[in-house]
Amino acid sequence: MSHPISIPQRNLGPFQVSALAFGCMNVCHAYGASPTTEAAVRLLQEALDAGVTHFDTAALYGFGESERLVGRALKSRRDQFVLASKGGMAGVTGEDGVTRRVIDGRPEAVRRNCEDSLRRLGLDVIDLYYLHRWDKSVPIEDTVGEMSRLVERGHVRTVGLSEVSAATLRKAHAVHPIAALQTEYSLWTRNPEIAVLDACRELGVAFVAFSPLGRGFLSGKIGGAEVAAFDAKDIRRSMPRFTAEHYAANEKLLPAYQALAREAGCTPAQLALAWLLQKSEHIIPLFGTTSLDHTLENLGAAQVKLSADLVARLEDLINQKTVMGGRYNEQNNREVDTEVF
């Protein structure tokens, strides 16, 4: 059992949670071979032991497997953590027996997704329920209206949005208070700085930053050889920044980045997380890993303090102008509603 680490607390709607959150996608899919069920359950329990009090899952992850793992690992300690899950994008099995990812924001679909999630989790209520993707064929007001009814029925406590723009956030917030907005944000993905970070601050919405380590890039632990050897099912294979050409260019940023980490007295992963933690009190970095060692390393970022000069050099080194390739391919770009540079 890990000893709890001293982690600052941040506001997430009505909740106080650890300033660093644990993302539960990696425990069942996305980045190649998944851990065994026993190893995944043990990792989730160890993260809670170490001081993490905010866990984030979704109906989509492993087509429900992540939620089943979270329920199995943590439901006996339900009063010790805040749980987030997501609907509006889930696996749907067709007549051919194949399960495919479907974005569906119709009220009846969101209601069904939530009920399915509760069943897999083995719980009565989800603390924070996100719309995983806005279905652009359905007005955001209609989808969030149904999510507000989930609150009224006691199925969820608060409502969140994922990968939406400031304008969409404002429309949704006018229907029902939005507790959190979740979007990719890191040194190499700065799009939230266009508008949505400020909108969250203005509205009192927590900003949950997923992929804060640039899907592994900012950990300094994956070079071109590792990228070339990605598992066939690794989702990074479809991401432009990880093509051979773009990654070769991006990799050239790492020596100077690693030197800044040494100057700060921390690991490259901790540098990326500390940068986010210092940006604003309303930002909660959400990391994912299959390793307890990496979990403990990441949590150590809460103790790292960066000078203004080092932050300026860091932001000069890695930003939207120095990173090659988009964060998503064309299909994924069409599915999100985020601002772009």
273-285 pLDDT, tens digit each: 999 999 999 999 9
Catalytic residue, chosen from 61, 129, 247, 257, is 61
Contacting residues for 4 by C-beta, under 8 A, at least 6 apart: 49, 50, 51
pLDDT the model gives residue 150: 98
Model confidence over 34-57: pLDDT tens digits? 899 999 999 999 999 999 999 999
Question: Does the pLDDT of residue 308 top 70, yes or no?
Answer: yes
Round to whole Å and give the CA distance between 327 and 4. Answer: 34
**How confident is the model at residue 60, as a pLDDT?**
96
- Write the CA distances from 119 to 23, 59, 107, 133, 302, integer angstroms: 20, 11, 19, 21, 34
Q: Write out the DSSP string of 183-250.
A: EE-BTTB-GGGTTHHHHHHHHT-EEEEESTTGGGGGGT---HHHHHT--TT-GGGGSGGGSHHHHHHH
Using the predicted structure, report yes or no on whether residue 146 has a pLDDT greater than 70: yes
Confidence of residue 6 (pLDDT cuts 50, 70, 90): confident
**How do residues 186-200 score in pLDDT, each as one tens digit?**
999 999 999 999 999
Give the pLDDT band (50/70/90) at residue 336.
Answer: very high
Band (3; pLDDT cuts 50, 70, 90): low
328 tagged catalytic: no
- Report the helix count and the strand count for the chain, using DSSP H and E: 13, 12
Is 44 in contact with 274 (CB distance < 8 Å)? no
Confidence tier at 223 by pLDDT (50, 70, 90): confident
pLDDT digits (tens, 9 = 90+) for 66-97: 999 999 999 999 999 999 999 999 999 999 99
- CA angle at 32 for the pair 28 and 33, rounded to the nearest 5°: 65
Cα–Cα distance for residue pair 324/224, rounded to 1 Å: 14
Percentage of the chain with pLDDT > 70?
99
The average pLDDT across 160-184 equals: 98
**The pLDDT of residue 4:** 74
How high is the pLDDT of residue 2? Answer: 56
Summary mean pLDDT of the chain: 96
Check whether domain 9-215+276-303 has CATH 3.20.20.100, yes or no: yes
